[in-house]
Chains A and B, each alone.
Chain A
């Protein structure tokens, strides 16, 4: 029995290949994700272990506002310079140094543009001389206040050399320095972990990076002879009385690395999400392949039953086949995944400015995940066909029984039930009734909806396919092709359903993002009454900013009526982390953003007063006159009195603080500027003047309102493209499914095709017949996908109405593209099966048993 199964499996290896390919792709994503995160994780460990290699103990202040990696760079409060002497006094402490190191030193390259970095920080520091890690490559360390050195990676990226005058943006606006040296690191490296570094003299670093003299970011020490880092840490901690964070270098490296790994796990989840989509589509494909194979083996399986095989043995033989396919596909998928993981890690390393990669590793999770997922999916998908195989009566071995068309009632009822469950789950998730499980509920709802619709597809397919087919029915081959596609509704349906999933996801996501985009622009158009806007693309996690002096100079330009600079910071407001804004001119709230007061006065703001949005006031139970403690990124906590409340629908900032507060923001410079002109003033006349003022703020530019709105929404376009590319994979798998189904159908109809050829159907006509069948199936799938995707997208958009997504935009152009694409997919998918059908040997086919 085992041998019979394996031999028949080998005989069908080509047919199983395509369905196996779907599993390979899904497994590749799963194992690739694990390999990538493992490799990068270990690389981060190595980077930080290295970065803190010459630090045994580190003393820093406790941060004022705790931020997660996703919310931006945490601003640690500085420590007083006197701390250096206190640490020096601790017995066993050697080589004690006051260190300035903060993100946000942005060098202006030789092309006049700010050197950008996505991910690794752009550190501004004080020059501490060479050491075990840092090695000067050229020149010398900075001695005068207008001298700097940079690391080799930054020198290369900025294309600057020793002796050049270079501009640097810090907490202060652009300042010019002379580059007096370039340094690298032990082992000939240009950077540690891709970070760009600018080193100043200590007083300059203190002023520019920390905002005041005589403070350091942290103090480091090495353990002297006879003591260990741990012992020294405890010693220092005791001496300082618990007011500071005292850690060993190793602890510091671990926590820094852990922070980045958290970001990686998010990336991991995205990859696993796409793996899930690929596998869902793959499941349809495997189900179909095995169903067709079982149908084609009816006679063989009936024979087995006639000569004594039990139903269970028949199930076993089909499942065994699935196990073999799953095993091979998982192994190939794992190998491909290791390749993909390595490639992505390499690209990530490049993108992150030359992160030195740790050796490629294959974690156990990748292997377990690959085989677990691959095997389970294949076997589960094959189970249904296996059960059907067991129901083949032995008498089928003796008769040429045309398998009767089984009624679709059961499938349809099942489909309706599953679709309803999906709809209910979606409703629960989207209406926010699912509590903590909202995301899981929504995803479950989408999954159920897909499976339910897939089950309903056979019923839908009859009328729709015959309607679609009518388009091609003008020629004999067209007519035959149309009849063929309607002949086995289940097979057509599952093949189309696989395509549906991919297209529905792309359509749904597009509906949501297009709607969001349109809502954002119409909101901006409705609310922002500024003719010119100063803003910029960020160079890394921190938003672009510009010199506050530009605001005053702009206000002096003739024809300018009102200028407002917007500041922002993540702060702790009344014990809760909240985004706070500050406007350089509070009057702008009403005049530019159209804010309406619901209580108090929002036209004025004293240095100890704050404004709240009506939502914030309501949820925190605050009213005019309430006092609220606020801790900003820098400085001490202060108490503000609520002096006014504005409508949330007009202005979405939860909290507005007076301009004076901005000095204690992590970025004490404006990040956006809004310019309102006098009526009748030409925008074109003012814009170049503002542009000139921004010469020293290369991160930002001035745009008119329409261009600004376009900039704001352009990110959604990138996002849509990225998602479409990733989901295209699901569509590719579905195409494999169409090819597979057609190939199997051609094989099954060898005799019939031979007969048609014998009575005079030409080769080209045969190929046209197969092509029509493929096109009908794929257009049907795309049509379903567009409809289901639009439904899902519209449901999500409706649910987000309260979040500000008020417009529902249906991407009609996109949908038409999908249908055209589907027709092309059909033609492409039909190529191989059609050639095969056309090549059928007429005589052999008629004799074929």
Chain B
């Protein structure tokens, strides 16, 4: 039990003084200004902030999808910064899962085939017990033979969640996973994400600008203008909304 607590305390992903600058000269945009953050294992963390604050950029840098201009990023024991293409490929294959706003399923494959795609790319077989657990949690058992076009948006996103979970990655990054869903489907997906953290110890980092969505997380990190400006533990929709409102006031941003 002590060991588990010790592991829990360790960060699944960490950003250390990360700067990200796009372009140069006139067109230069500083998307991240020295962000340092830790995302603990087995927790559900939300990254909140107004549009253009650098949420997606931070997530891309954490996941090794984009390079950082300065600073370092680690996932588990792996230092992401400075990895070459094959290192990054291995990282994505073994340690990271993604959930996208646009679902991003392959239209030609069935739900089942989409779910096991990361494993078949890696040349691995799914663990049958875990696969069953995932399918039952997302409630897709009777839809496995369907193609994405035959599924509703909510169902498609659940397939995408199952795809991220089935490989048991160190950390799952989700960028606005409910952005394209109605509120009911959104709630289903969020509940399901929270359950996978609570019941199976999955680590999830979710980017969102929706306070209701952020309220499902264990912790919320607030980003404004490329910097971390605030943090909430055990948030509710109201506390998140309050914090957001304060951030929207220019005086507060200056802090």
The chain A residues found within 8 Å of chain B, CB to CB, are 1, 3-4, 7-8, 10-11, 299-300, 303-311, 313, 393-395, 397-398, 849
Neighbour of B109 across the interface among A4, A308, A311, A398, CB < 8 A: A4
Contact B121–A309 (Cβ < 8 Å): yes
Is B98 located at the chain interface by the 8 A CB criterion? yes
- Cα of A7 to Cα of B147 in the assembled complex, Å: 12
Contact A395–B117 (Cβ < 8 Å): no
List residues of chain A with CB within 8 A of the CB of B121. 1, 304, 307-309, 313
List residues of chain B with CB within 8 A of the CB of A306. 65, 92, 98
Contact A397–B104 (Cβ < 8 Å): yes
Neighbour of B89 across the interface among A7, A11, A311, A397, CB < 8 A: A311
Contact A8–B89 (Cβ < 8 Å): no
9 contacts between A and B (CB under 8 A): A1-B120, A4-B108, A7-B113, A307-B92, A309-B89, A309-B93, A313-B121, A397-B100, A849-B102
Contact B94–A308 (Cβ < 8 Å): yes
Query: Given contacts A3-B113, A395-B65, A398-B100, are A307 and B106 in contact (CB under 8 A)?
Result: no
> Interface readout for B174-192 with A: 1 if CB under 8 Å, 0 if not?
0100000000000000000
List residues of chain A with CB within 8 A of the CB of B94. 308
Other than A308-B122, A310-B93, give 14 A-B pairs with Cβ distance below 8 A.
A1-B120, A1-B123, A4-B120, A11-B107, A299-B104, A307-B92, A307-B97, A308-B93, A308-B121, A309-B89, A311-B89, A394-B65, A395-B65, A398-B65
Give the distance to chain B from A750, nearest Cβ to Cβ, in Å. 14
Chain B, residue nearest A304 (CB): B121
Rank and list the top 4 A-B pairs by shortest CB-CB distance, nearest first: A308-B93, A7-B108, A307-B118, A395-B65
> Interface readout for B94-132 with A: 1 if CB under 8 Å, 0 if not?
100110111010111100010001101111000000000
Contact A11–B104 (Cβ < 8 Å): no
Give the distance to chain A from B5, nearest Cβ to Cβ, in Å. 31
List residues of chain B with CB within 8 A of the CB of A1. 117, 120-121, 123
Query: Given contacts A308-B121, A308-B122, are A303 and B89 in contact (CB under 8 A)?
Result: no
Name which of A3, A10, A11, A310 has the most chain B CB atoms within 10 A of its CB: A310
- Cα of A310 to Cα of B89 in the assembled complex, Å: 6
Query: Given contacts A303-B104, A398-B60, are A4 and B113 in contact (CB under 8 A)?
Result: yes
- Cα of A343 to Cα of B121 in the assembled complex, Å: 48
Give the distance to chain A from B59, nearest Cβ to Cβ, in Å. 9
List residues of chain B with CB within 8 A of the CB of A307. 92-93, 97-98, 117-118, 121, 163
Contact A395–B66 (Cβ < 8 Å): yes
Neighbour of A303 across the interface among B97, B106, B175, CB < 8 A: B106
List residues of chain A with CB within 8 A of the CB of B85. 311
Query: Given contacts A1-B120, A306-B65, A307-B117, are A395 and B60 in contact (CB under 8 A)?
Result: yes
List residues of chain B with CB within 8 A of the CB of A299. 104
Query: Given contacts A306-B98, A308-B122, A398-B65, are A4 and B92 in contact (CB under 8 A)?
Result: no
List residues of chain A with CB within 8 A of the CB of B92. 305-308, 394
List residues of chain B with CB within 8 A of the CB of A303. 104, 106
**How many of chain B's residues touch chain A, expressed as a range?**
20 to 34
Is B24 located at the chain interface by the 8 A CB criterion? no
Is B212 located at the chain interface by the 8 A CB criterion? no
Query: Given contacts A394-B92, A398-B175, are A310 and B106 in contact (CB under 8 A)?
Result: no
Contact A305–B98 (Cβ < 8 Å): no
List residues of chain B with CB within 8 A of the CB of A3. 109, 113, 120
List residues of chain A with CB within 8 A of the CB of B86. 310-311
Contact B66–A4 (Cβ < 8 Å): no
Give the distance to chain A from B135, nearest Cβ to Cβ, in Å. 18
Chain A, residue nearest B86 (CB): A310
- Cα of A3 to Cα of B113 in the assembled complex, Å: 9
Contact A8–B113 (Cβ < 8 Å): no
Chain B, residue nearest A300 (CB): B106
List residues of chain A with CB within 8 A of the CB of B93. 307-310
Give the distance to chain B from A729, nearest Cβ to Cβ, in Å. 34
Give the distance to chain B from A743, nearest Cβ to Cβ, in Å. 19
Contact B98–A4 (Cβ < 8 Å): no
Contact A10–B89 (Cβ < 8 Å): no
Contact B56–A7 (Cβ < 8 Å): no
Chain B, residue nearest A6 (CB): B108
Contact B56–A398 (Cβ < 8 Å): yes
List residues of chain A with CB within 8 A of the CB of B122. 308
List residues of chain B with CB within 8 A of the CB of A305. 89, 92
Give the distance to chain A from B79, nearest Cβ to Cβ, in Å. 19
Chain B, residue nearest A396 (CB): B65
Give the distance to chain A from B245, nearest Cβ to Cβ, in Å. 29
- Cα of A306 to Cα of B173 in the assembled complex, Å: 11
Give the distance to chain B from A748, nearest Cβ to Cβ, in Å. 15
- Cα of A162 to Cα of B60 in the assembled complex, Å: 98
- Cα of A7 to Cα of B148 in the assembled complex, Å: 14
List residues of chain B with CB within 8 A of the CB of A849. 102
Give the distance to chain A from B208, nearest Cβ to Cβ, in Å. 15
Chain A, residue nearest B60 (CB): A395
- Cα of A1 to Cα of B118 in the assembled complex, Å: 9
List residues of chain A with CB within 8 A of the CB of B109. 3-4, 7
Give the distance to chain B from A433, nearest Cβ to Cβ, in Å. 47
List residues of chain B with CB within 8 A of the CB of A311. 85-86, 89
Contact B106–A8 (Cβ < 8 Å): yes
List residues of chain A with CB within 8 A of the CB of B66. 395
Chain A, residue nearest B91 (CB): A308
Give the distance to chain B from A197, nearest Cβ to Cβ, in Å. 68
Chain B, residue nearest A313 (CB): B121
Chain B, residue nearest A390 (CB): B85
List residues of chain B with CB within 8 A of the CB of A394. 65, 92
Give the distance to chain B from A298, nearest Cβ to Cβ, in Å. 12
Contact A8–B175 (Cβ < 8 Å): no
- Cα of A303 to Cα of B163 in the assembled complex, Å: 12
Chain B, residue nearest A299 (CB): B104
Give the distance to chain B from A844, nearest Cβ to Cβ, in Å. 12
Neighbour of B108 across the interface among A8, A313, A393, CB < 8 A: A8
- Cα of A535 to Cα of B121 in the assembled complex, Å: 77
Contact A308–B100 (Cβ < 8 Å): no
List residues of chain B with CB within 8 A of the CB of A393. 65
Give the distance to chain B from A388, nearest Cβ to Cβ, in Å. 15
Give the distance to chain A from B81, nearest Cβ to Cβ, in Å. 16
Give the distance to chain B from A400, nearest Cβ to Cβ, in Å. 9
Chain B, residue nearest A399 (CB): B56
- Cα of A304 to Cα of B163 in the assembled complex, Å: 12
Give the distance to chain A from B95, nearest Cβ to Cβ, in Å. 9
- Cα of A7 to Cα of B114 in the assembled complex, Å: 12
Chain A, residue nearest B92 (CB): A308
Chain B, residue nearest A302 (CB): B104
List residues of chain B with CB within 8 A of the CB of A300. 106
- Cα of A759 to Cα of B163 in the assembled complex, Å: 40
- Cα of A492 to Cα of B165 in the assembled complex, Å: 44
List residues of chain A with CB within 8 A of the CB of B123. 1
- Cα of A7 to Cα of B107 in the assembled complex, Å: 10
Residues 61 to 105 of chain B near chain A (Cβ within 8 Å): 65-66, 85-86, 89, 92-94, 97-98, 100-102, 104
Chain B, residue nearest A2 (CB): B120
Give the distance to chain B from A150, nearest Cβ to Cβ, in Å. 71
Give the distance to chain B from A302, nearest Cβ to Cβ, in Å. 9
Name which of A299, A303, A393, A394 has the most chain B CB atoms within 10 A of its CB: A394
Name which of B86, B102, B108 has the most chain A CB atoms within 10 A of its CB: B108
List residues of chain B with CB within 8 A of the CB of A11. 107-108
List residues of chain A with CB within 8 A of the CB of B56. 398
Give the distance to chain A from B152, nearest Cβ to Cβ, in Å. 14
Chain A, residue nearest B94 (CB): A308
- Cα of A609 to Cα of B93 in the assembled complex, Å: 92
List residues of chain A with CB within 8 A of the CB of B89. 305, 308-311
Chain A, residue nearest B110 (CB): A7
List residues of chain A with CB within 8 A of the CB of B120. 1, 3-4
Contact B118–A308 (Cβ < 8 Å): yes
- Cα of A10 to Cα of B108 in the assembled complex, Å: 9
- Cα of A1 to Cα of B116 in the assembled complex, Å: 10
Chain A, residue nearest B97 (CB): A307
Give the distance to chain B from A186, nearest Cβ to Cβ, in Å. 64
List residues of chain A with CB within 8 A of the CB of B104. 299, 303, 397
